[in-house]
């Protein structure tokens, strides 16, 4: 198929190099984007809420829940479908940040003690006269990966509500986990690489 040093042989090596470099570049771009978010994004601290008190530790990650994981929907609000984007505005109170409002459009001109975070609706119940509706929202900060078998201690701390999460948010509302905070001290702070 490829005899000695023909152009087709050179082309083959060029093609191989192009594919390998392109795939490595995609991986590098993912890392750069994430490192950018973690280093330049605004730091906020969210209280971690136990998702399932019996079994938080699933395999090799700890499931983290937040008060913004459940977003109330007021009566008369436009219906929100699964998979749609939602923006939640947070307000700083003491060390922690709490949910203030939510909208389907990007908030603008927020005061300095507020920040918005972008989420994806997993499930939404429609509000009725009897009960307000609620949306279950994911922000991409719900899984904290830990080394195999090292999650027990963390699970206990989360169960006792002693853990807060250090989150970075960029200008577009994308969020990432930067580390965990226990009793005001940073534990499990992740290096960039």
Taking the C-alpha atoms of residue 124 and residue 80, their distance in angstroms, rounded to an integer, is 7
Give 170 or 190: the residue with its C-beta nearer to other proteins.
Answer: 190
Contact string 153-182 vs other proteins (x = CB under 8 A): -----------------------xx-----
User: Which listed residue (47, 67, 170, 190) binds other proteins by CB under 8 A?
Assistant: 190
* Smallest distance from other proteins to CB 90, Å: 19
Select the span of 44-52, 90-98, 143-151, 155-163 touching other proteins (CB under 8 A).
Answer: 143-151
When asked if residue 129 is in the footprint of other proteins (CB under 8 A), the reply is: no
Smallest distance, other proteins to C-beta of residue 30, A: 5
Task: Report whether 176 contacts 189 (CB < 8 A).
Answer: no
3-state helix, strand, coil in the chain (%, to 5): 25, 40, 40
**CA-based angle 124:130:131, to the nearest 5?**
35
Cross-strand pairs, 71: 135
Q: Which is nearer to other proteins, 59 or 76 (CB)?
A: 59
User: From residue 4 to residue 23, what is the string marking binding to other proteins with x (rule CB under 8 A)?
Assistant: -----x--xx-xxxxxx-xx
Three-state SS for 27? helix
In whole angstroms, the minimum distance from the beta carbon of 40 to other proteins comes to: 14
d(Cα 164, Cα 179) in Å, to the nearest integer?
Answer: 9
Residues touching other proteins, count (CB under 8 A): 42
Question: Which residues in the 100-119 window bind other proteins by CB under 8 A?
Answer: none
- Give every CB contact of residue 91 below 8 A, 6+ residues apart in sequence: 97, 98, 99, 100, 113, 114
Residue (47 or 143) nearer to other proteins, CB: 143
Helical spans, DSSP H, in the chain? 7-40, 152-159
Task: State whether residue 4 is helix, strand or coil.
Answer: coil
Q: Please give the residue ranges that form the binding site for other proteins (CB under 8 A).
A: 1-2, 9, 12-13, 15-20, 22-24, 26-27, 30-31, 34, 38, 60-61, 81-83, 120, 138, 140-148, 150, 176-177, 190-191, 193
């Amino acid at each position: 198929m490829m005899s000695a040093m023909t152009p087709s042989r050179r082309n083959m090596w060029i093609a191989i190099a192009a594919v390998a470099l392109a795939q490595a570049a995609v991986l590098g771009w993912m890392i750069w984007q994430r490192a950018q978010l973690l280093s330049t994004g605004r730091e906020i601290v969210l209280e971690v809420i136990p998702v399932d008190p019996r079994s938080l530790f699933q395999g090799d990650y700890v499931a983290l829940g937040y008060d913004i994981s459940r977003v109330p929907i007021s009566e008369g609000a436009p219906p929100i479908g699964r998979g749609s984007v939602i923006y939640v505005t947070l307000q700083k109170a003491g060390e922690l940040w709490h949910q203030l409002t939510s909208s389907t459009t990007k908030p603008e001109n927020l005061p300095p003690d507020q920040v918005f975070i972008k989420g994806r609706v997993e499930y939404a119940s429609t509000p009725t006269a009897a009960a307000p509706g609620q949306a279950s929202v994911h922000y991409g900060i719900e899984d904290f990966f830990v080394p195999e078998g090292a999650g027990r201690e963390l699970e206990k701390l989360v169960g006792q509500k002693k853990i807060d999460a250090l989150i970075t948010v960029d200008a577009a509302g994308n969020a990432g986990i930067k580390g965990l905070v226990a009793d005001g001290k940073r534990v499990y702070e992740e290096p960039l690489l």
